[in-house]
Structure 1
Amino acid sequence: MHGHRRAFVKTGSGPAVLLLHGLGADHTTWGPIVDQLARRYTVIAPDLLGHGQSAKPRADYTLGGYANGMRDLLTVLGIDKATLVGHSFGGGVAMQFAYQFPERTERLVLVGSGGLGPEVTPVIRAISTPGFELVMAPLTMPGVRHVAAAAMRALKRTGIKEFRDFDEVATIYESFREYDARSAIAHVTRAVVDWRGQIVTMADRAYLTEAMPLCVIWGEDDRVIPASHASLAAELAPGARVELIANAGHFPHKDHPERFVRILNDFIRKSPPAAYSRARFRSLLRNGRVPAGATEQPVEIATVTPIR
């Protein structure tokens, strides 16, 4: 599309579910759940531009640019509407997509998502600093890279919860061996993070979720973006369904794939897809809430006790 290679997986049949991975990852992060979801849904799991097997050009790596790219991908695939599931940075892309294209968004699922508060691990803040691409060059040379990645995976196998996500971190680290990949990730990060933390927030537009079924899923032991952001989501969008998964880190869909799929299936089953109305959207934008006496009723959103 637009002269750039876009890699993706498309499998299954039924209502469309678009899976958006996080910073530095690719579609393989969804590996543990894709086959299960494909039993009920048409699953699309792309490599975002600058990631995985997709092209890594000098391009627009803003959230708006990514949202446009996902709209174009769905259009090419002949899919009009989808439930969006965004993890970490992909959650920011999912929120931006729902904001720009509410008529094409049926539901929104945020998994350990960015955009809900400023706090984020110092490692991601470091990526936004000038010179990251050059500093990483010697650290990703073959010998250094292999030893460091092996050490991270060994720490993962210890079972210590602080190292729970290190296998995924090792995979992301190995992807930095290519300068184009390092450069793309740096551009992506600088669009949403600076040395003080996350820049982009949904706080000023959270009221729009009154017209959109929203589910927030978080691992209680998340060391990348704190689980307290799930509480912030509940405050910003009181109608949202919030799930905290015990004994899970930043990748709850990998730590507990069966539980994750059960939550997602239940949410989709119980929440009717959003029906876009330009008049209602206009009222929300003007008033910041559903106006009193409005003839259109808010979409009912399932609320359950968080898993602990």
Structure 2
Amino acid sequence: MESVEDVQHVLVHGYRRAYRICGSGPVLLLLHGLGCDSSTWAPVMPALAERYTVIAPDLLGHGESDKPDADYSLGAYANGMRDLLTVLGIDKVTVVGHSFGGGVAMQFAYQFPERTERVVLVSTGGLGKEVTPLIRLLTVPGSGLAIGAATLGPLRPLVSTAMRTLARLPMRATRDLDEVAGIYEALADPAQRRAVQRVTSHVLNWRGQFVTMTDRSYLARLMPVLVVWGRDDMVIPSAHADLAPTDVSDVHVLEDSGHFPHKDHPEQFARLVTEFIDHHEPAHYHRGRWRAVLRRGNQYELESVTPEGVAPATG
């Protein structure tokens, strides 16, 4: 079996895509957050690989994947994941997305419901407007130059070491600084910095997130959804978990956890995902059912929608 540490590469549309793969069985697609890479999933991949084929790509513009001057919209990322899965010979997945990766996961499920069995959202973007000012600053003109100066060689090791030292303190505000240090170091690469800024410009501005799933959240009733958050998230408020379509979602807010609950509590996270899959049959896409739901919008009752369309009124 492949090791979690092994990174493989494949060309898709002429761009190198890096990914980690391990395990066997039904497929989980793990999508990391902004400025991170597939290594963020390393703490949970071995446990999940005991029952599933686990694929964790480096999104385009991140990690070991290429960083072209290209389209970094949510739709483009969803298309890229479909094409990667197609190249790898994989048809359907349970898609798991963290932070920005949660937005990609929702977009993937929206664009390709026939290929999506379930959705797991981890401290996800796309459920509300609020987000840390540090990310909002990426959209301010001139921020690229400022980040470039702040990540210069002589300064970079001092700053990253300081952040990792602070991360070891028993303080809510500093809990995630080890991950932030990794993102800070990655932003020293001008190509990744450009990609990250391109991503942010598609989903938020200095006021916060303007791309959300709230207008289409009723579609989640056709697909099992699990939401996991850390109570002490300083990046995206855990209160956003309350905005999930809870009538069809399993929602878990983990105590003593920040923006990376899969790293703070890997065993609990793997158990929650496994139990969610065990207790929820995969969604089965039917064009007539989706057409009926789209026509009725969020005014319908799921029980009245049959695979062929909307059941006629009785009585």
TM-score by length of 1: 0.94
Aligned to 2:80: 69
Please provide the CA RMSD for this pair.
1.2
Aligned to 2:294: 285
SS in 2 for 1:96: helix
Q: How many residue pairs were aligned?
A: 295
Determine whether 1:84 maps to 2:101: no
Which has the larger share of strand?
2
User: Residue 293 and residue 174 in structure 1: after superposition, are their counterparts in 2 closer, same or farther (change >3 A)?
Assistant: closer
Determine whether 1:101 maps to 2:102: no
Q: C-alpha separation between the residues in 2 aligned to 1:180 and 1:294?
A: 47
| 4+ runs deviating over 6 angstroms | none
Aligned to 1:304: none
User: Residue 65 and residue 25 in structure 1: after superposition, are their counterparts in 2 closer, same or farther (change >3 A)?
Assistant: same
Quote the offset at 1:292 in angstroms: 6.2
Aligned to 2:249: 240
Q: C-alpha separation between the residues in 2 aligned to 1:22 and 1:105?
A: 20
Quote the offset at 1:214 in angstroms: 0.4
Q: C-alpha separation between the residues in 2 aligned to 1:6 and 1:28?
A: 14
8 Å Cα contact 1:206-1:237 kept in structure 2: no
Identity of aligned residues (%): 58
Q: C-alpha separation between the residues in 2 aligned to 1:239 and 1:292?
A: 13
Q: C-alpha separation between the residues in 2 aligned to 1:36 and 1:140?
A: 35
Determine whether 1:131 maps to 2:160: no
8 Å Cα contact 1:108-1:212 kept in structure 2: yes
Which deviations, in whole Å up to 9, do the C-alpha atoms of 1:115-150 show, x marking residues without a partner?
Answer: 000000000000111222211112111111100000
Which deviations, in whole Å up to 9, do the C-alpha atoms of 1:221-273 show, x marking residues without a partner?
Answer: 0000000000111xx34211100100000000000000000100000000000
Aligned to 2:154: 143
Q: C-alpha separation between the residues in 1 aligned to 2:222 and 2:304?
A: 16
Aligned to 1:28: 39
SS in 2 for 1:52: coil
Quote the offset at 1:295 in angstroms: 3.2
Matches of residues 33-48 of structure 1 in structure 2 within 5 Å?
A: 33-48=44-59
Matches of residues 138-287 of structure 1 in structure 2 within 5 Å?
A: 138-233=149-244, 236-287=245-296
Q: C-alpha separation between the residues in 2 aligned to 1:290 and 1:101?
A: 23
Quote the offset at 1:157 in angstroms: 1.1
Q: C-alpha separation between the residues in 1 aligned to 2:306 and 2:206?
A: 46
Quote the offset at 1:41 in angstroms: 0.4
Aligned to 2:4: none
Q: C-alpha separation between the residues in 2 aligned to 1:213 and 1:6?
A: 28
Quote the offset at 1:159 in angstroms: 1.9
8 Å Cα contact 1:220-1:246 kept in structure 2: yes
SS in 2 for 1:159: coil
- Compare 83-92 and 159-168 and name the one that shifted more: 159-168
Determine whether 1:49 maps to 2:60: yes
Quote the offset at 1:293 in angstroms: 3.5
TM-score by length of 2: 0.92
Any unmatched runs of 5+ in structure 2? 1-11, 309-315
Q: C-alpha separation between the residues in 2 aligned to 1:158 and 1:120?
A: 23
SS in 2 for 1:22: coil
